[in-house]
Amino acid sequence: MNMAETDNLAAGLRGELKRSEPMARHVSWRAGGAARTAYFPADLDDLIAFLRSLPAGEPVHMTGLGSNLLVRDGGLRGTVIFTHRALREIRLDHLGALGGGVYAEAGVACPKVARYAALNELVGAEFLAGIPGTVGGALAMNAGCYGGETWDIVAHVLTVDRTGKKRARTREDYEIDYRSVVLRGHEIPPSPPLLKGGEVSPSPPLLKGGVRGDLEEWFVAASFRLKRGSGAASRGKITELLKRRIATQPLGEPNAGSVFRNPQGDYAARLIEACGLKGRVMGDAMISDKHANFIVNRGGASAADIEALILLAEQSVKEKFGITLEREVRIVGEA
Ligand SMILES: Cc1cc2nc3c(=O)[nH]c(=O)nc-3n(C[C@H](O)[C@H](O)[C@H](O)COP(=O)(O)OP(=O)(O)OC[C@H]3O[C@@H](n4cnc5c(N)ncnc54)[C@H](O)[C@@H]3O)c2cc1C
């Protein structure tokens, strides 16, 4: 019996507990350090039991598919909880006066919601087909593309806190903005600055918002309110959207989508490109030569390589245009 199994049995849990789990396996950048503890719950009840079993003060990082996440090379203190193996239920939902919809647990992949809706002649979730994360991550980020945003179609969400208390919440409970979701009344702590050789890197102007993993309440499900319509037309829209992505994004190499939010009235990619940074390399990380708001891992990039390029882009755009880029990707852990 290994250490993980012993830990689990002692706590009476049914999920899988791992120590020193390399996060490069779990984030789309395929880079970065290890999580001190990782937990893969068996289902929602098991997740709740696990949260209740944690010592007070243990940092918790709820994680979906890691498609917007960078863990620094020194690793992550605390416990990462993965939703994608456990919270997988998806079904039709009857929202009473609100009409029809889809209920999906937090670990369901966004493209699955888009396809499931189309299959059931429900329209309005097509944009989710292009977002390679989970429902939980999309709720936390207010993920969106091509004119659609996650919270535009949310009827209500289900959350859980550290004590295991479940709550049904609606949009009115949150301040929702572009790639930003803040539970009203919650302060958002900034990302820790990068410490290197005794120097503190200029701390980015983080973060306008976001339900960060270290808040004490997490998404476990959402009901999406969708309109009745043509499933065939919806599937056509999804195909079109995916074609556009393949044409414009460097999907062949590990990346985390857009690194920066677009500033009001402009595009982060345009600004970075205008600084001459397309193709700029740091170790094995590169500012994509296809889309300047993407950083790709050409094989063996470290989180430090990626973060160095992020800082370079921020500094260059600030110097040339006086614009402060805001990060869309979440950076956690120790350098
Ligand atoms: C190729 C590519 C294209 C992309 N295109 C887009 C795009 O068009 N539009 C867009 O918006 N994004 C895009 N992204 C970014 C990313 O897919 C989204 O931000 C996505 O919503 C993240 O989901 P995730 O499950 O991977 O979250 P993760 O990366 O695992 O986590 C992201 C944040 O959400 C928090 N979180 C995760 N699950 C929960 C939960 N259950 N409860 C509370 N907090 C949680 C985490 O703590 C973390 O802070 C793209 C990424 C890639 C790699």
Q: How confident is the model at residue 213 (pLDDT cuts 50, 70, 90)?
A: very low
Assigned token pair, 44: 């929602």
- CA 254, distance to chain mean position in Å, is 15
Q: How far apart are alpha carbons 4 and 255 in whole angstroms?
A: 30
Q: According to the model, what pLDDT value does residue 206 have?
A: 32
Residue 257 near ligand 1, beta carbon < 6 Å: yes
Identify whether the C-beta of residue 222 lies closer than 8 Å to the C-beta of residue 102. no
Beta-strand relationship, 217-225 and 154-161: antiparallel
Q: How confident is the model at residue 191 (pLDDT cuts 50, 70, 90)?
A: very low
Q: According to the model, what pLDDT value does residue 100 have?
A: 73
Taking the CA of residue 65 as reference, the ligand 1 atom at the shortest distance is 26
Per-range mean pLDDT, top range of 89-98, 99-108, 140-149, 187-196: 140-149
Distance 324 CA to ligand 1 centre (A): 22
DSSP letter string over 231-265? HHHHHHHHHHHHHHHHHHS-TTS---S-SBPPPTT
Residue 151 near ligand 1, beta carbon < 6 Å: no
Q: How confident is the model at residue 188 (pLDDT cuts 50, 70, 90)?
A: low
Give the residue whose CA is nearest to atom 47 of ligand 1.
Answer: 213
Q: Check pLDDT > 90 for residue 94.
A: no
Distance 132 CA to ligand 1 centre (A): 7
Give the residue whose CA is nearest to atom 11 of ligand 1.
Answer: 143
Distance 156 CA to ligand 1 centre (A): 19
Give the residue whose CA is nearest to atom 3 of ligand 1.
Answer: 257
> What is the average pLDDT across 19-28?
98
Q: According to the model, what pLDDT value does residue 204 have?
A: 36
Residues with catalytic roles? 179, 258, 328
pLDDT tens-digit map of 260-305:
999 999 999 999 999 999 999 999 999 999 999 999 999 999 999 9
- As a whole number, the mean pLDDT across the chain is 89
What is this structure's pTM? 0.91
Residue 148 near ligand 1, beta carbon < 6 Å: no
pLDDT tens-digit map of 79-90:
999 999 999 999
pLDDT tens-digit map of 7-22:
555 568 999 999 999 9
Give the residue whose CA is nearest to atom 27 of ligand 1.
Answer: 137
User: Which of 39, 74, 41 is CA-nearest to residue 58?
Assistant: 39
Q: How far apart are alpha carbons 191 and 203 in whole angstroms?
A: 8
